[in-house]
C-alpha cells in the first residue's frame, strides 16, 4: 500500500471514530494488565463479564495475592484456559509486589518478564496505560495487516514491525485500536463486510462473493 493510501486509510478510520478506546474494562493500570492477560483466546465481552465483580473486590496486586488462585478461579471460570490464567495472574501479582513496588512498570521488557505477559499484552498496556505508540498485533491486526496489504507478514512480530514503519503521524497512538475495532465489526474473519467498509477502495482484498462494494461516491459519509 502506498504512503498516501495508508494516510488516507487511517484518516477515514479516525474521522469515523476520533477517540477509540479498548473495550476491556478496568479501573486502574493493574486491573488493565490483568484484563489483558485474561483476554488471550477469549472475547473482551466475556472477560468484562467475568471481571465485573472481581474488580469491585480486587484492585491491587496485594489484594489479588490475598484472594489466591482458587478464589480467582471462581471469578474467571467462564473464561477459556482459566486455570493457567489464574496461576499466571497470581504469579505476576506476586512479582509486581516483590520487584516493582506493586506498580505496573512502564517498560515493555519489564512487562514481558511477568508471568503470562507476552509482547502483545505488553504493547496493549504500554499504549493504553502509558500512552506509548505501540502496535499490539492480535488476530484482528494480523488478519487486517495481511488482507488489506497494509502490513503483510507471516508472524505477528513481522506485522508489528511493518506497522511500526508504515503508520504515519498523527495516527500512531490510536492505530491499533482502529484496526482491532475494524476487524472485529467490519473486516470480519469469515465474512468481511466490504460493502460497508469505509476503506474498501484502498484495500488489496477483493471479495469473491457477497454484496457488491459501494463506490466512494455512493457510500455515506462517516459521522
Domains annotated for the chain, with CATH where assigned, are 3-19+136-202 (1.10.1670.10), 29-128 (1.10.340.30)
Confidence of residue 206 (pLDDT cuts 50, 70, 90): confident
Mean pLDDT of all residues belonging to the chain: 91
Stretch 168-195: mean pLDDT, rounded? Answer: 95
Confidence (pLDDT) at 160: 97
51 is in an annotated binding site: no
- Would you say residue 41 has pLDDT above 60? yes
Confidence of residue 147 (pLDDT cuts 50, 70, 90): very high
Confidence of residue 193 (pLDDT cuts 50, 70, 90): very high
139 versus 221: which is more confidently predicted?
A: 139
- Would you say residue 86 has pLDDT above 80? yes
Pick the catalytic residue: 49, 107, 113, 138?
A: 138
92 is in an annotated binding site: no
Stretch 115-137: mean pLDDT, rounded? Answer: 96
6 versus 217: which is more confidently predicted?
A: 6
- C-alpha dist (Å) from residue 194 to 29, 94, 111, 120, 122: 36, 46, 37, 27, 31
Confidence of residue 80 (pLDDT cuts 50, 70, 90): confident
187 is in an annotated binding site: yes
- Would you say residue 39 has pLDDT above 60? yes
Q: 29-38, 142-151, 167-176, 199-208: lowest mean pLDDT where? A: 199-208
HEC sequence for the chain: CCHHHHHHHHHHHHHHCCCCCCCCCCCCHHHHHHHHHHCCCCCHHHHHHHHHHHHHHCCCHHHHHHHHHHHHHHHHCCCCCHHHHHHHHHHHHHHHHHHCCCCCCCCHHHHHCCCCCCHHHHHHHHHHCCCCCCCCCCHHHHHHHHHHCCCCCCCHHHHHHHHHHHCCCCCCCCHHHHHHHHHHHCCCCCCCCHHHCCCHHHCCCCCCCCCCCCCCCCCCCCC
**Separation CA 161–CA 135 (nearest Å):** 9
Confidence (pLDDT) at 208: 58
Is 120 known to be catalytic?
Answer: yes
Is 99 known to be catalytic?
Answer: no
The percentage of residues in the chain with a pLDDT greater than 90, rounded to a whole number, is 89
Pick the catalytic residue: 44, 52, 87, 120?
A: 120
203 is in an annotated binding site: yes
Amino acid at each position: 500500500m502506498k504512503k498516501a493510501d495508508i494516510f488516507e486509510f487511517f484518516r477515514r478510520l479516525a474521522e469515523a471514530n476520533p477517540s477509540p478506546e479498548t473495550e476491556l474494562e478496568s479501573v486502574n493500570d493493574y486491573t488493565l494488565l490483568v484484563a489483558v492477560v485474561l483476554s488471550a483466546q477469549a472475547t473482551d465481552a466475556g472477560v468484562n463479564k467475568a471481571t465485573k465483580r472481581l474488580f469491585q473486590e480486587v484492585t491491587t496486586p496485594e489484594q489479588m495475592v490475598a484472594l489466591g488462585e482458587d478464589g480467582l478461579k471462581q471469578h474467571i471460570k467462564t473464561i477459556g484456559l482459566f486455570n493457567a490464567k489464574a496461576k499466571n495472574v497470581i504469579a505476576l501479582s506476586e512479582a509486581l509486589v516483590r520487584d516493582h513496588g506493586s506498580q505496573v512498570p512502564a517498560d515493555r521488557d519489564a512487562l514481558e518478564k511477568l508471568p503470562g505477559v507476552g509482547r502483545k499484552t505488553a504493547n496493549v498496556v504500554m499504549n493504553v496505560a502509558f500512552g506509548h505508540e505501540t502496535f499490539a498485533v492480535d488476530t484482528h491486526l494480523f488478519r487486517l495487516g495481511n488482507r488489506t496489504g497494509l502490513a503483510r507478514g507471516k508472524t505477528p512480530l513481522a506485522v508489528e514491525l511493518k506497522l511500526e514503519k508504515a503508520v504515519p503521524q498523527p495516527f500512531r497512538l490510536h492505530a491499533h485500536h482502529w484496526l482491532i475495532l475494524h476487524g472485529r465489526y467490519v473486516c470480519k474473519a469469515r465474512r468481511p463486510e466490504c460493502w460497508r467498509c469505509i476503506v474498501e477502495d484502498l484495500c488489496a482484498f477483493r471479495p469473491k462473493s457477497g454484496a457488491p462494494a459501494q463506490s466512494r461516491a455512493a457510500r455515506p459519509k462517516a459521522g
